[in-house]
């Protein structure tokens, strides 16, 4: 049951990365792929039906952790306190930027909110990448499994004493930002048309080119900061399947970009991101919050899970809610199939 809930938490996080990832990426690119107000409305129309629903998957991930591994959630929230507030403020800023930009028909007003939307959309994936880098590298847990709010940086060495930022976590953040921006470009190439589509295709080539080049370096860097993680790869079939999905997705992106099959490129990007997240989770298992100084202090799925009876009750509720969420998502994509068209007047999208 513990293993099942670890997998559920990993799947929920993967859903969030893939789904909210494409609208983050679209926002991070919209100033470069959309040059006029009409083109920016087209970008907003492409993500408009999805962005707020996509963010719910982050809450669902937190809910899964709360139900099954509350100790991990409590320690992580307290330790990353300030960073989480930054994420929350950026999520709020991003939402109100989408809603407010069309309330006043003034170029300066719209430009200001477009800049806020771009900044929040570009910084959020980097922050999430830095957070994942911290989980892979490890944090300074005490004997009770807690750690104080981390400083932004210490000496950038990825060794104790550590901060939120060092050479590895920054590398992970930059890689995440590029991958999410590439994901957004593939989505816009699929959902948009005209100049926005062409610019998005060109951006996808550049961004996925950078991702392809940096991927082996990120793997090598991960081996340096967390050697046991990659050593565990040898006997984990789930991790190998996820890696094959990621590499297959990346190959699909390149093949589809060359043949201008935009939907296939977007699906390949989804597979790449999903494979990367699931492979990371499979290699880390059972560790959920790694102690950088003493591995015996790490919070794992086994020492942080609630009793089996509680896990079974939570599974019953999850078995009801998850299919409904998937049904909603499928219905939403069916309703809004086809190319996006910018809204008129004061409509946000």
Q: Please state the domain extents for the chain.
A: 2-334
Whole-prediction pTM value? Answer: 0.93
Cα dihedral 140→142→145→146 (10° resolution): -70
Is 345's pLDDT higher than 60? no
pLDDT at 344: 60
CB distance 71 to 299 below 8 Å: yes
pLDDT by residue (tens digit) across 70-124?
A: 999 999 888 888 888 999 999 999 999 988 888 888 889 989 999 999 999 999 9
Each residue's pLDDT tens digit, 98-112: 888 888 888 899 899
For residue 338, what pLDDT band results from cuts at 50, 70 and 90?
confident
- Provide the pLDDT confidence category of residue 322 given band limits of 50, 70 and 90: very high
Average pLDDT, the chain: 90
2-334 CATH, one of 3.40.30.10, 1.20.1630.10, 1.10.10.2120, 1.20.1070.10: 1.20.1630.10
- How distant, in Å, are the alpha carbons of 130, 161, 302 from that of 135? 9, 15, 17
Tokens 């961004």 belong to residue: 207
Report which of 336, 272, 238, 302 is spatially closest to residue 17, judged by C-alpha positions. Answer: 272
Q: Which residue has the tokens 């570009």?
A: 122
Looking at residues 284-307, what average pLDDT do you find?
89
Q: What is the pLDDT of residues 40-56, one digit of tens each?
A: 989 999 998 898 889 88
pLDDT tens-digit map of 241-275: 999 999 999 999 999 999 999 999 999 999 999 99
Task: Give pLDDT, residue 68.
Answer: 93
d(CA 316, CA 310): 10
């Amino acid at each position: 049951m513990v293993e099942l809930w670890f997998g559920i938490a990993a799947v929920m996080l993967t859903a969030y990365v893939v789904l909210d990832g494409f609208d983050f990426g679209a926002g991070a690119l919209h100033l470069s792929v959309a040059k006029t107000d009409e083109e920016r409305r087209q970008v907003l129309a492409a993500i408009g039906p999805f962005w707020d629903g996509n963010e719910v998957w982050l809450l669902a991930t937190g809910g899964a952790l709360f139900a099954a591994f509350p100790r991990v959630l409590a320690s992580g929230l307290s330790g990353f306190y300030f960073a989480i507030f930054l994420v929350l403020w950026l999520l709020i800023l991003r939402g109100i930027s989408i809603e407010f930009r069309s309330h006043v028909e003034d170029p300066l007003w719209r430009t200001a909110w477009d800049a806020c939307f771009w900044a929040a959309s570009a910084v959020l994936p980097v922050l999430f990448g830095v957070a994942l880098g911290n989980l892979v590298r490890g944090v300074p847990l005490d004997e009770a499994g807690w750690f104080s709010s981390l400083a932004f940086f210490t000496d950038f060495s990825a060794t104790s004493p550590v901060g939120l930022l060092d050479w590895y976590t920054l590398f992970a953040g930059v890689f995440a930002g590029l991958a999410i921006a590439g994901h957004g470009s593939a989505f816009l190439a699929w959902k948009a048309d005209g100049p926005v589509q062409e610019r998005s295709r060109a951006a996808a080539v550049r961004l996925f080119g950078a991702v392809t080049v940096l991927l082996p370096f990120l793997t090598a860097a991960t081996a340096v900061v967390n050697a046991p993680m990659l050593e565990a790869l040898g006997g984990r079939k789930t991790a190998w399947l996820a890696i094959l999905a990621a590499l297959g997705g990346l190959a699909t992106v390149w093949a589809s970009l060359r043949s201008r099959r935009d939907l296939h490129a977007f699906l390949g990007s989804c597979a790449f991101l999903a494979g990367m997240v699931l492979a990371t989770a499979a290699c880390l298992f059972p560790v959920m919050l790694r102690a950088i100084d003493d591995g015996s202090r790490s919070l794992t799925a086994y020492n942080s899970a609630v009793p089996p009876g509680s896990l079974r009750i939570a599974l019953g509720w999850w078995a009801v809610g998850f299919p409904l969420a998937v049904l909603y998502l499928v219905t939403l994509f069916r309703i809004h199939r086809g190319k996006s068209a910018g809204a008129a007047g004061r409509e946000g999208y």
